[in-house]
Amino acid sequence: MSEVSRPLLGRRIVVTRARAQASSLLTALRELGAEVIELPTIEMVPLESYEVLDGALRNVDRYQWLIVTSANTARVLAERLAVLGLGVSVLADLRTVAVGSATARALRERGIGVDVVPEQYVAESLVAALRNRMSGSRILLARASVARDVIPEELVRRGAVVDVVDAYRTVIPAGAVESMRRVFSDASPRPDAVTFTSSSTVKNFFSLWREAGLGRVPEGISALSIGPITSETLREYGWTPAAEAKNHDVAGLVAAIGQRVAYDGAEN
């Protein structure tokens, strides 16, 4: 494969995504020639109790809409329906909103129909996609524990009744502090870029960075963001993203990385 088709050849890129979800990003970057450094700052783990989620699924006929915010949430919904002996058919009468193309794909792979996919992975886009159809509706919103409250707040403001249920929770992986020190120590070649696929990966990265006692993020390392919410969080921590994916999924992120990191390499 030529250097033209491997624009990331010689570039060192850190992937902070959860290890269980990172395979497609890792593969794509390696195919473009990058040296990929796995540094997961987030891990998805089961809830301590599924009582609330299970109760909502048992009484799903009270809802008109279902909003699913991630592919991992789609997986958990299907699993809990199976545990309850209900099957995905109980969702057939709901209008289902998938936040993001990866979420839509995960739902369809499990036999759950998708009615709406907002153009962008942001609350404003979701609200715009639903337009005036939410007033008086009861909505079940399934998401990660401790997720942002923007979406339910906006829906309630427009007249909907929203029940928010957690599908899973996220933690910082064991050994992540030591991994952070190893990747960013003076003894290691400096990475060219760090990829971020959610606000949680950003927050956990900086939590680990502080715990590792590494000081300021070195100049010359690019932050690469999957979308506007992640970019907003990066800016809150004082790190302006060098690039943001136009399509807020792995393919969009890879395209942004290819353009930005290759450009940086050409300048050096």
On the question of a common fold for 12-42+173-267 and 46-170, the answer reads: yes
Q: Report the alpha-carbon distance of residue 12 to residue 37 in Å, rounded.
A: 7
Task: Dump pLDDT digits (tens) for 170-191.
Answer: 999 999 999 999 999 877 788 9
Domain 12-42+173-267 carries which CATH code?
3.40.50.10090
Instruction: Quote the mean pLDDT of the chain.
Output: 89
C-alpha 115, offset from chain centre: 21
Judged by DSSP in three states, 35 sits in: strand
List the chain domain ranges.
12-42+173-267, 46-170
Q: How confident is the model at residue 2 (pLDDT cuts 50, 70, 90)?
A: very low
**pTM (two decimals):** 0.85
Domain 46-170 carries which CATH code?
3.40.50.10090
Q: Does the pLDDT of residue 210 top 60, yes or no?
A: yes
Q: Does the pLDDT of residue 3 top 60, yes or no?
A: no
Q: Looking at residue 80, what is its pLDDT?
A: 98
Q: Report the alpha-carbon distance of residue 225 to residue 213 in Å, rounded.
A: 24
Task: Dump pLDDT digits (tens) for 112-147.
Answer: 999 998 876 666 677 777 776 777 899 999 998 876
Task: Dump pLDDT digits (tens) for 47-56.
Answer: 999 999 999 9
